[in-house]
Amino acid sequence: MGCIGCSCSTGKDNDAPGCKSNGGCASGGCNRHNTYDWITALGIQDSKPFDVVEVSFKNGSRKEFFKNPPFTRVTTGDWVVVEAPSGGFDVGKISLSGELVRLQMKRKRVRNDARLVSVVRKAHERDLERLDEVRKEEKEVLVKARVIARSLGLNMKIGDVEFQGDGRKATFFYTADGRVDFRELIRHYARDFRIRIEMRQIGARQESARIGGLGNCGRELCCST
């Protein structure tokens, strides 16, 4: 059978045509939007260089594409400092490079001529230390953010908080049944946390992917792996 909620399953008890693993999700069929860069892993030089890389943030909970200037000399597996679209800098790990990025962009419907911000350089030790510091702050900020939202009587749930690598901005991911007027909430967050705030609404499945957990099968949730 397929895993609960798996879009690769037909719903029949003994049929999992999508991943062929009988509900085990060991073949990668359920996280079909992810790609493993086996070309770089085997040390093979890509025959078709491509000037865009895929960068993973917060253990893969968010992935974005960035221009990769030749002088950076970065490849899959490198930690990098990138420009943040809203200003400042972020730190992530390159999850794909080369021709595979072109295919992944096509799958995610991102045009090759799309305007993308750039990789700045490889991350050094201080960048990674700073990233670790802001990640440690996220749990405490998440608890405070939920308390503030509840005190304002808003019909929403703050599911996760992600700090930008330079610590200047935080994105609050929330779920809600409908539209929420969170202008007053943003004012409280900006005053208490003293950083730039972005609110982003996500669905229940996206929330599960970011937070993680165990499914009915006893394995880690497919959407988070």
CA angle 66, 69, 75 (to 5 degrees): 70
pTM (whole model) above 0.85: no
pLDDT value of residue 224: 66
Per-residue pLDDT of 138-183, as tens digits, reads 999 999 999 999 999 888 889 889 999 988 999 999 888 888 888 8
Bridge partners (DSSP) listed for residue 174? 158, 201
pLDDT value of residue 223: 66
CATH class, range 129-224: alpha beta
Domain borders along the chain are 1-32, 38-123, 129-224
- Indicate whether 5 pLDDT > 60: no
Tell me whether residue 184 is exposed, middle or buried, using C-beta atoms within 10 angstroms of its C-beta: 0 to 12, 13 to 18, 19 or more. exposed
Element (H, E) at 91: strand 89-96
Per-residue pLDDT of 31-90, as tens digits, reads 445 667 766 776 666 666 788 999 999 877 889 999 998 888 888 889 999 998 888 899
Contact of 204 with 173, CB cutoff 8 Å: no
Per-residue pLDDT of 22-39, as tens digits, reads 444 443 344 445 667 766
What percentage of the chain exceeds 90 in pLDDT?
Answer: 35
